[in-house]
Structure 1
Amino acid sequence: MQANFWHQKWEKNQIGFHLPAANPLLVKHFFALNLKQGSRIFLPLCGKSLDIAWLLAQGYQIAGAELSAIAIEDLFRSLNLTPKITQKNTITHYSAPDIDLFVGDIFDVTPSMLGKVDVIYDRAALVALPVEMRKKYSDHLIKLTQLAPQLLICFEYDESLHAGPPFSVGADEVKTHYQARYDLTLLASEPVEGGLKGTCPATEHVWLLKPFDSVVNAA
């Protein structure tokens, strides 16, 4: 899947994946991460998600990566913030108090650019990528964030009934990408009301991923 696919979606405002409110599964399960206020949360492929406004309101700092400048400019307008904009190689960095967003190819974002993050919230990234890109993405995410814990939300459905994105990512695939480095806990599985884009039944799974070192230290 090429970058042009997503640029065209934003240019044509074909953003059915954009929710009109903070994700209810985030609101319900985020505190399983047991984060301190002021912790820095990374949202890969964040778009202009209203989850960002919700997390800022809870007292967290936000970092995000997004391909579309249109999405990020819309986001800052919605937050009534004027960002400082700087260029770092192929990545455009939009920043304001408590928020750093990196526009460009997420694979061009480096750990030194991103800085330290305390946790990853992946609602729309892993499921947005075709199967041939997901291993590269999960490996990059681990290196980029120094193995930060994750709250991961995935869709699962019969892909013969719907052509993604979002793509179906089941438990076996989550384990393939992450079980070597993380302790995986399935927090919830809930049916998607009305089905996926109204085309087929689907389930959303909420995963908590904790690095093995943190699990041992907490024991």
Structure 2
Amino acid sequence: MQAEFWLQRWREGQTGFHRDQPMPLLVRHWPTLTLPPDSRVLVPLCGKTLDMPWLAAQGHHVLGVELSPLAIEQFFAEQRLTPERHESPLGVHHVAGRIEIIQCDVFALDDATLASCHAVYDRAAVIALPPPLRERYAREVYGRLPKGCRGLMITLDYPQQEMDGPPFSVDAGNVDALFGHSWNVGLIERRDILVSQPKFVEAGVSSLHTSVYRLQR
């Protein structure tokens, strides 16, 4: 996926992936990571997700990364927050309370920024990327997170030949191939969600599952 693809989606309001409440799977499983409250949590390809305020309410420092200035603008407006802005070699930083969003490509993050993250929450990033970019993402982003880092990853799994992504199918074998060599990966929930996803039904998808993985570096 080229950057322009996602920028265009935001310009045209094609953001069906956005939820109007925190992800229930996050709320249910995040406590199992047993993170200290003030941990810094990386949220790649964050959009304007309400998962960020939820994480901040748990006492965490949230670091979102997002390409689209519209997504960032809408997030802070909808949260009734006025962020302070500054620029760095990474991009434009928007900071309000415990939430910081950097407007940049996730691959532009430097070693120091990634090394400062105690945790990662991935609901929309790994499934947004086609295989070649997904491999680069695992190598260049997850591969530079520090030892001891913990994460929660939510994926979709369906017959890829039945529908074009994004979102792309990322099954257990994909997760193990991408992360198993340097992360302890555990599947903690898998459920059938096809009946609740009309877009997939209309596309002719025959099965659809969502899975939640707990990771530790």
TM-score strictly above 0.5: yes
Query: Which residue in 1 is equivalent to 2:44?
Result: 44
**1:37·1:60 contact (CA, 8 Å) conserved in 2?**
yes
Query: Which residue in 1 is equivalent to 2:165?
Result: 164
**2:53·2:99 contact (CA, 8 Å) conserved in 1?**
no
Greater mean alpha carbon deviation, residues 98-107 or residues 111-120: 111-120
Greater mean alpha carbon deviation, residues 200-209 or residues 4-13: 200-209
1:194 Cα deviation (Å)?
2.0
Aligned pair 1:205/2:199, yes or no? no
**1:43·1:122 contact (CA, 8 Å) conserved in 2?**
yes
1:61 Cα deviation (Å)?
1.4
| AA matched with 2:127 | V
Query: Which residue in 2 is equivalent to 1:187?
Result: 188
Write the distance in 2 (CA, Å) between the matches of 1:196 and 1:135.
29
1:13-28, aligned counterparts within 5 Å? 13-28=13-28
| AA matched with 1:176 | A
**1:65·1:103 contact (CA, 8 Å) conserved in 2?**
yes
Q: How many residues align?
A: 211
1:58 Cα deviation (Å)?
2.0
Write the distance in 1 (CA, Å) between the matches of 2:64 and 2:172.
25
Query: Which residue in 2 is equivalent to 1:35?
Result: 35
Query: Which residue in 2 is equivalent to 1:55?
Result: 55
> Given the two structures, how large is their TM-score scaled by the length of structure 2?
0.92
Write the distance in 1 (CA, Å) between the matches of 2:90 and 2:34.
35
Write the distance in 1 (CA, Å) between the matches of 2:55 and 2:42.
11
Write the distance in 1 (CA, Å) between the matches of 2:7 and 2:198.
22
> Given the two structures, how large is their TM-score scaled by the length of structure 1?
0.91
1:89 Cα deviation (Å)?
2.6
Q: Deviations 1:58-83 (Å, cap 9, x if unpaired)?
A: 22210011111111111111222111
1:90 Cα deviation (Å)?
5.2
| AA matched with 2:166 | P
1:1-219, aligned counterparts within 5 Å? 1-89=1-89, 91-113=91-113, 116-147=116-147, 148-192=149-193, 193-195=195-197, 197-199=199-201, 200=205, 201-211=207-217
1:84 Cα deviation (Å)?
1.4
| AA matched with 1:208 | R
Q: Considering only aligned residues, what root-mean-square deviation do their CA atoms show, in Å?
A: 1.5
Write the distance in 1 (CA, Å) between the matches of 2:75 and 2:33.
25
1:141 Cα deviation (Å)?
1.6
Other structure's SS at 1:92 match: strand
Structure 1 residues 90 and 34: CA distance shift in structure 2, 3 A? closer
| AA matched with 1:202 | L
Write the distance in 2 (CA, Å) between the matches of 1:30 and 1:170.
21
**1:91·1:104 contact (CA, 8 Å) conserved in 2?**
yes
